[in-house]
Structure 1
Amino acid sequence: MSHTTDPTASGAAVSNALAEAATEDSELLTSIVRVARSIFGAAASSVFLFDAEADELVFEAVSGEGEGFLVGTRFPADRGIAGWVITTGQAMSATELTTSQVFARDLAESTGYVPDSIMAAPIVHRMAPIGVLQVLDPHPQSRYSVADLDLLAMFANQAALSLHILLRNRAARAGLRREGAEYDTLAKIAALLADMDDEQRGRGVALIESLHGMLAGMAR
């Protein structure tokens, strides 16, 4: 007994599985920023994704100030504390933002919350920067502690794998959507052939076979 597989249905099943996995990765990132916020006694904590193609930083997870609306917001990757961290690949603790030459106050104001201090660490996967983990207005004792900055870097390491998997799943879903569009086109051609009379269908099949021969020649 032979079995046939519907490529569209298979693609949909894989896409659904990837969407579920991406949701779990987003939940893990949210858990990381919540724990970081709690440990550092911060007003807020967030994970930025570095979109290298657009040269922008994107809020992927937020806990505390702005968590209800900031996810998905984009900023230039060459500005602000987070921009400095993604550019240099170094962690940073900025305790006097009013005098900081790196801090971008206008970007902070656009989020609805302007902090007095920021701690930030790069999120790196296989030597490549893919994001930034930051906490806003941490407990005063943490702001001047090298050990606490190292601890934030450890949290960034935890976020790295989750953020990488999230990116990989998104790329896979995009690929499936492209393939799905191709399957839709083939299905429409098949439906047209089914509605034709025998003579029209014969000419249609001959045309498709000719096209197949051309494509096969291109693939060699």
Structure 2
Amino acid sequence: MNGTCRAAETDPVARDLLQSVVDTARAIFGAAASSIFLLDREADELVFQAVSGEGEDFLVGMRFPAGRGIAGWVAGSGEPMVVDDLSQSAGFARDLAEKTAYVPNALMAAPLLGPDGVLGVLEVLDPAPQARASLGELDLLALFARQAATALAAVLERRAADAGQAAAARVLRDLDDAGRAAGLRALEAVRDLLAAH
């Protein structure tokens, strides 16, 4: 599992952030449900990381092939999409929707774009008809997804920095007095070097 999925599963701040995103998206668009899938590149799967509304009690952690369905297309293309009638959509993976115990009639989806590409997909299922009536609403969802991806990246960077500091502290703690003093001098030299540039 790649770092983004793993961190989102284990970091309480990341989990809370993603949950607030889907709760807010569901409210903004008057939808029956909203979800965030994160892309597990190693497994080539999309993983439900947060769900609001239909399926919120059991979908988190469920996985689907990354190349299937509307979410798969959005993850692969990096482009948002709205489908007003899923019964007429060749790209809709009805069999996957049936596994979630909720088959929507319409959906909007936007990619979560990070610095290294698509992190995942934000979906809004059965949004209110007025919410999916214009490209402006799809642009709003894409903007919201971009803000969510930026916030997630910030949380993950904080987590990585915290882990690095904790590792450095463990190393220093395990050294004898002479090694600790030498390590601290080395860190000060690196800090001085970075400050000079």
TM-score by length of 1: 0.66
The answer to whether the aligner puts 1:139 opposite 2:128 as a matched pair is yes
Q: Could you say if the C-alpha distance between residues 157 and 58 of structure 1 is closer, same or farther in structure 2, counting changes exceeding 3 Å? A: same
Q: CA deviation at 1:173?
A: 9.6
- 2:44 equivalent among 47, 51, 55: 55
Query: Is 1:74 the equivalent of 2:53?
Result: no
Query: Compared with structure 1, are the counterparts of its residues 172 and 76 closer, same or farther at alpha carbon in structure 2 (3 Å cutoff)?
Result: farther
Q: Structure 1 unaligned runs (5+)?
A: 1-17, 184-220
Q: How does 1:36-51 map to 2 (within 5 A)?
A: 36-51=25-40
Equivalent residues in 2 for 1:104-119, closer than 5 Å? 104-119=93-108
Q: How many residue pairs align between the two structures?
A: 161
Q: Compute the displacement of 1:127 (Å).
A: 5.0
> 1:72 Cα deviation (Å)?
0.7
Shift of 1:157: 1.1
What's the TM-score, normalizing by structure 2? 0.73
Whether the 8 Å CA contact 1:29–1:162 is kept in 2: the answer is: no
Note the C-alpha offset of 1:165. Answer: 4.8
SS of alignment partner, residue 134 of structure 1? strand
C-alpha separation between the residues in 2 aligned to 1:72 and 1:150? Answer: 28
Per the alignment, in what secondary structure is the counterpart of residue 61 of structure 2? coil
* Cα separation, partners in 2 of 1:141 and 1:76, compared to 1, 3 Å: same
Q: In 2, Cα distance between the equivalents of 1:171 and 1:153? A: 27
- Per-residue CA shift, 1:166-200, capped at 9, x if unaligned? 6567878999xxx8xxx9xxxxxxxxxxxxxxxxx
List structure 1 runs of 4+ shifted beyond 2 angstroms. Answer: 161-175
RMSD value, Cα: 2.7
Provide the C-alpha distance between the structure 2 equivalents of 1:107 and 1:170, rounded to a whole number of angstroms.
Answer: 33
Aligned residues of 1:44 and 1:136 also touching (Cα < 8 A): yes
Instruction: Find the residue that maps to 1:130 and give its secondary structure.
Output: strand
- Measured against aligned partners, the alpha-carbon deviations of 1:11-61 in whole angstroms (never above 9, x if no partner) come to xxxxxxx99x92022111111111110010000001110111111000111
What is the aligned-residue identity percentage? 59
Q: Which runs of 5+ in 2 are unaligned?
A: 1-6, 172-197
Q: Distance in 2 between matches of 1:117 and 1:35?
A: 18
Residue 67 of structure 1 aligns with an amino acid whose one-letter code is E
Point out the structure with max Rg over C-alpha. Answer: 1
Cα 1:167/1:79, change in 2 over 3 Å: farther
Letter in 1 for 2:25: A
